[in-house]
Amino acid sequence: MIGDQSGREHYDYLIVGAGFAGSVLAERLASQHDAKVLLIDRRPHIGGNAYDEPNEAGILYHKYGPHIFHTNSDQVVDYLSQFTEWRPYEHRVRAVVRDRLVPIPINRTTLNELFDLDLKTDEDAAAYLASRAEPVADIQTSEDVVVNAVGRELYELFFQGYTRKQWGLDPSELDKSVTSRIPTRTNTDDRYFTDSFQAMPAEGYTRMFERMLDHPNIEVRTGVDFREVRDSVDYGHLIFTGPIDEYFDHRFGKLPYRSLTFDHQTLEQERFQDTGTVNYPAPDVPYTRISEYKHLTGQQAPVTTITYEYPSAEGDPYYPIPRAENQELFKRYEALGDETEGVTFVGRLATYRYYNMDQIVGQALATFRRMDGKREPHNAD
Ligand code: FAD
Ligand code: UDP
């Protein structure tokens, strides 16, 4: 081991956060650059928000809510496939609207079931939606996107209540990118995603992370906050995947992140609901959705585990909140980050981007390519 004068071990990289961003970079730097990496996480486990584990009943569940892997990137699939086999899985979601359980994204079936219609073709559905849509000339907000596509009634039934709960904001106060995640369809495709690759890691996310980090150059310490080690660990370069405003002690003010409380329940029944997730857009229901893991994992068992998601302002930061004023504040932190020598910010919290897992893997791989061959000078004591 290389040590400094005080005998401390030297790491080429200290990586903060063992989620996708931190773990992909740890793996790449260790295996491709032969770099010595110390990877820390303040949680008692690796995997970040994608962490899964078997509960007391033996059901594999996701501690931070349901994570469904989907991507159009061959590069990301090829990369992750080094560490896992896959179980094909296409996610389907229903929404409880007017006491009916109908497909979301809104598709032809949704319209037929909700309004007792008999739309037979894509053209029928397109014409029906066109008759309800309220065109918005300049689409800016998450309200504009939906009202423009399906009109106000469907907007209120499916999006307004859900969004107000999820974000604590009206869709009119959120960037259009938020509800743009959910398409409107005129066919009967009821899959939540249409990406070319949709599958779950066969033995779960945590197992995949374990394989990724199983390298002699990587030391993992969980239950350790950056603050505890920032002055005592000898490292060359820092990769930070936590909230960027926290790194800079909130000097420009707090960046808003939305949180959730998860209520995990194990029920003495084989199945709870017919699809992986059921959404509850009604304003008088306090949770946004219920997910049942056995659909995602294919696990067979006489009992089942479900998770209710209750949005909240307080708690772990899960979602950056996409709106102009937050982006402006983030830009100030980003500029500060760019000026700060020896630190790279990557990941959903550090780059304040509402990214899915595959996008974070792509971001981390791109960050690695930019680091290619570059060895930072070691920090002085
Ligand atoms: P994270 O996974 O958040 O990892 C960051 C890690 O850094 C955390 O473990 C944290 O503890 C650690 N950390 C932060 N600060 C410090 C510090 N100071 N010291 C030490 N450690 C620190 N994506 C999909 O593709 N499909 C889905 O179905 C999906 N569902 C989701 C459902 C929910 C409820 C949520 C919240 C997200 C979902 N996502 C989904 C998004 C996915 O979770 C993220 O894209 C991905 O996990 C981001 O990885 P990351 O490494 O950037 O961040
Ligand atoms: N959304 C909604 N109703 C729904 C599903 C989604 O209003 O039935 C909106 C809501 O604002 C949500 C956003 O679309 O936050 C993105 O939904 P997604 O399912 O992608 O959210 P995530 O899985 O990231 O929490």
Q: Is the pLDDT of residue 293 over 90?
A: yes
- Rounded to the nearest angstrom, the distance between the alpha carbon of 182 and the centre of ligand 2 is 7
49 lines ligand 1 (CB under 6 A): yes
Q: Is the pLDDT of residue 152 over 70?
A: yes
- Rounded to the nearest angstrom, the distance between the alpha carbon of 6 and the centre of ligand 1 is 35
348 lines ligand 1 (CB under 6 A): yes
Contacts (Cβ under 8 Å, ≥6 apart) of 104: 93, 94, 95, 110, 158, 182, 192, 279
Instruction: Report the alpha-carbon angle 87-274-126, nearest 5.
Output: 95
Confidence band, pLDDT 50/70/90 cuts, at residue 5: low
106 lines ligand 2 (CB under 6 A): no
> Rounded to a whole number, what is the largest CA-CA distance in the chain?
79
Closest approach atom of ligand 2 to CA 104: 8
Contacts (Cβ under 8 Å, ≥6 apart) of 165: 283, 286, 287, 288, 311
Q: Is the pLDDT of residue 221 over 50?
A: yes
Distance CA(145)–CA(273), nearest Å, equals 30
Give the pLDDT confidence score for residue 9 in this predicted structure: 87
| Chain CA centroid to CA 260, Å | 12
- Rounded to the nearest angstrom, the distance between the alpha carbon of 262 and the centre of ligand 1 is 15
**What percentage of the chain has pLDDT greater than the value 70?**
96
Distance CA(350)–CA(344), nearest Å, equals 9
95 lines ligand 2 (CB under 6 A): yes
336-349 residue pLDDT tens = 999 999 999 999 99
Contacts (Cβ under 8 Å, ≥6 apart) of 364: 20, 21, 24, 25, 28, 346, 347
Confidence band, pLDDT 50/70/90 cuts, at residue 253: very high
ipTM: 0.99
Distance CA(145)–CA(139), nearest Å, equals 6
- Rounded to the nearest angstrom, the distance between the alpha carbon of 277 and the centre of ligand 2 is 12
154-180 residue pLDDT tens = 999 999 999 999 999 999 999 999 999
From 152, 163, 258, 359, give the residue whose CB has the most ligand 2 atoms within 8 Å, as the site to mutate.
163
Residue nearest to atom 43 of ligand 1 (CA): 49
From 110, 162, 312, give the residue whose CB has the most ligand 2 atoms within 8 Å, as the site to mutate.
162
Q: Is the pLDDT of residue 287 over 60?
A: yes
Higher model confidence: residue 375 or residue 333? Answer: 333
Closest approach atom of ligand 1 to CA 43: 11
CA proximity to 276, closest of 65, 77, 110: 65
Closest approach atom of ligand 2 to CA 356: 24
179 lines ligand 2 (CB under 6 A): yes
281 lines ligand 2 (CB under 6 A): yes
Contacts (Cβ under 8 Å, ≥6 apart) of 370: none
**Ligand nearest to the Cα of 360, by number:** 1
357 lines ligand 1 (CB under 6 A): yes
